[in-house]
Amino acid sequence: MKISDLYRENDNAVISCEFFAPKSEKGFQNLYKVFEQLKQALPAFYSVTYGAGGGTARPTLELVCKIQDEFGITSMPHLTCVNHSKEYLLDYIHELKDNGINNILALRGDMPGGGSYISHTEELRFASDVVGLVSELNHFCIGVAAHPEGHPDSVSLEEDIKNLKIKLDAGADFAITQFFFDNEFYFKFVEMARNGGIDKPIIPGIIPFINANHVMKFAKMNGTHIPDALKKQMVEIGDDRKMAVELATNQAVRQCRDLLDRGVPGIHFFTLNNSKPTLSVLQRLGII
């Protein structure tokens, strides 16, 4: 199944989830339990991150294959160009194809350890270059990232819109946004994108977090604005996981209700490999 078909053929919002490949066998076994728990939500597809510098390339491939072959859910691996030659990426892309994978999320990627970005080759410097490489095979549905509040490396939101259009024009079929806590950033971004000639689906990303301190750190790295009232609660909660899940669930439910009421094509949940917050959100929305 190609994910672009899901957005085209469904009248209701398409629900999807993101995971990362664990570092241990125990982590994988726990993740399989998460998959089983989320099956009741009938997710349309799962995406799996690639790790900085392609650090989880092999586990990512194994995991997306297992998701499709054993759990029967469409999967989409992330793919980045950091630390990779064109030859390596082509081999990897062909391996995905040979294993029945039909979707790829094409990204530039981050350097291991959070260092400054350095391209491996002049042929592969940007996400649009990855899109172009993947699209040459004429096999994959391609997703890309979007940044409603601007990518940290961008000088303006207008530049971000232009870069998104370059990626989509290079062969991408849809975009999934970085997480945000204020829906108006998303709707403003979509409006600017439409005015800029972009007509492909832009899917909002929502993070039902499990640790307030961690998500504040992520938000700072990504340039994500946290509304004052929410940030105050996060600071007070700190590392209290139970209170964090309750706060995150309430926040995500408010956001998702508004997004669904305003006709978004789908919602992509950044699960952090934990089913409870996402399931709670979907239950309170009446989706399950």
Kindly list the catalytic residues.
Answer: 18
Residue 100 neighbours by CB distance under 10 Å? 11
Helices 276-284, 25-38: crossing angle, 10 deg rounding: 10
* The length of the chain, given as a count of residues: 288
DSSP for residue 1: -
CA distances from 179 to 100, 155, 169 (A): 29, 20, 23
| Calpha distance 266→9 (Å, rounded) | 12
275: three-class secondary structure by DSSP: coil
Name the β-bridge partners of 45.
16, 74
Which tokens belong to 256?
Answer: 């998702």
142: three-class secondary structure by DSSP: strand
18: three-class secondary structure by DSSP: strand
Asked if residues 237 and 247 have their Cβ atoms less than 8 Å apart, the reply is yes
Which tokens belong to 123?
Answer: 């042929």
| Calpha distance 52→150 (Å, rounded) | 20
Pairing mode of beta strands 266-270, 202-206: parallel
| Calpha distance 221→217 (Å, rounded) | 6
CA angle, 130 then 52 then 240, to 5°: 130
Tokens 């995406």 identify what position?
47
Looking at this protein, which amino acid is placed at residue 63?
L
